[in-house]
Amino acid sequence: MQSKFFIYAAIALLISSASAAPKSSTASAADAPSSSVASVTSAAPATTTPTSGSFTFKNTYPSAVGPLPVDPEWLKLVNFTQVPGAPYKLQAGVGPVNPTPGQNTYCSWTFTQCIRPDDITFCPTKGDWGLTYDDGPSQFSPKLYDFLDTLNQKVTLYLIGSNVIQYPDLVQRAFKAGHHIAIHTWTHSYLTTLSNEQIIAEFKWTERAIKEVIGVSPRYVRPPYGDVDDRVRNIAHQLGFVVNIWNKDTLDWSLAESKTFQAAWIDNNVTAWIAEAPNATTGSISLEHDIYSPTVDVAIKILPILKNTFNVVPVPVCLKDQTPYKEAVTYSLSGNGPAPAAASSGSSGNATATGGSPGPVSVAAASAGSAVPSASVNSTTKPSAASTSFDTKTMVMGVAAVMLSLAVVGF
């Protein structure tokens, strides 16, 4: 994450230039699609199992730097003839380069913020706010988790696999607290620049580590930098994942990585989002990070303000998706419920998203004891896609009250 600032800045530049008129084409021709042949990378022995705390891994895992070893079993999960073309070239210190500026053949979000209907970029219901923190767990996560606990606030956490094996106890803590655990790849690379096999490995190593730690396999993935195109989407979907981007970006990472970034900009953005709220037609999903101390601090600062206006929930809650994991576990849609329980505990019924009203889900097993639901659950259960009959919950909101509370908080 060393030069994230420059990378983000370059992406912003790329986005703005791609959405404007085509500029000078500095990029060379696109790579020939490499997708038709699955060159089988042998599963080189994984290298290391670093960990802190009390959790002991049985599996071994690769280092945080790619290229990653690839388990041949994973390659069998993907029909490579269906994977669209690319990849894009990676320009050092910049990011993916559009080989055809002004065009966006593969619907790259990086180049034009192109999205497909399957992409999740916002909460559908006006007033809902899907709260996500990326890049954890880190040494700064406990401070955030503590604060979330004081508010009984559940969130979505997009975890980096190589951090999961460093802080497994934090992952268990977050899961038991009822946070929604999701995948943010192993090395935090630009997925559109990787080979098909490496994309698979980025998702599957992270899935394997999370499964080992908390007993369930996330269905939600977030490509680092939001760098997704049709090839990444296709591979993700064939592996049983849904892709989640965002539509409200705090750019909080700049607090740690940019000398010119002003913290007040985040306050201003939050104020603007609140001002826009009455006219919004949908909800939102925001992006923050628990990888740096200042990003955790700003997260703690703005969350109560967001909660004054929005119904702040984990992403699957605003999607009415009770099955954010691949196993037969039911996730509480109350937004403030305890950890998901294994369906096999007999307490929570069938693990299918009904799309109905978010009735409280009984969650005896996971919340009562310290055990994480795991062993009794088979990983082959394929939950049906979440129905999308969304509530049209009225948002009760006093703008005046919000402004008043902003004044109190000191905006």
Helix (H, G, I), strand (E, B) or coil at 180: strand
Q: Around Cβ 268, how many Cβ atoms within 10 Å?
A: 12
Nearer to ligand NAG, 83 or 312 (CB): 83
Q: What is the DSSP string of 365-384?
A: HHHHSSPPS-TT--TT--PP
Nearest residue (CB) to ligand NAG, 313 versus 333: 333
For the CA atoms of 15, 17, 19, 21, what is the dihedral angle to 10 degrees? -170
Q: For tokens 């935090």, name the residue.
A: 188
Host H or E run for residue 304: helix 293-309
Question: What is the four-CA torsion angle of 338, 342, 347, 353, rounded to 10 degrees?
Answer: 80
3-class DSSP string for 202-233: HHHHHHHHHHHHHCCCECEECCHHHCCCHHHH
Minimum gap (Å) between residue 102 Cβ and ligand NAG: 25
Active centre residues (catalytic): 134, 289
* Cβ at position 114, least distance to ligand NAG in Å: 22
The dihedral sign for the CA sequence 113, 87, 116, 160: negative
Pick 178 or 373: Cβ nearer ligand NAG? 373
Q: What are phi and psi of 196, to 5 degrees?
A: -55, -45
Closer Cβ to ligand NAG, 77 or 385, answer by number = 77
**Cβ of residue 267: shortest distance to ligand NAG, in angstroms?**
8
Name 89's bridge partners.
97
List residues binding ligand NAG (CB under 6 A): 79, 81-82, 251, 265, 268-269, 272, 275-276, 279, 344, 349-350, 376, 378
Nearest-approach distance from CB 155 to ligand NAG, in angstroms: 21
CA 372 – CA 388 distance, rounded (Å): 29
Q: How far is the CB of 217 from ligand NAG (least distance, A)?
A: 14
Pick the closer one to ligand NAG by CB: 48 or 82: 82
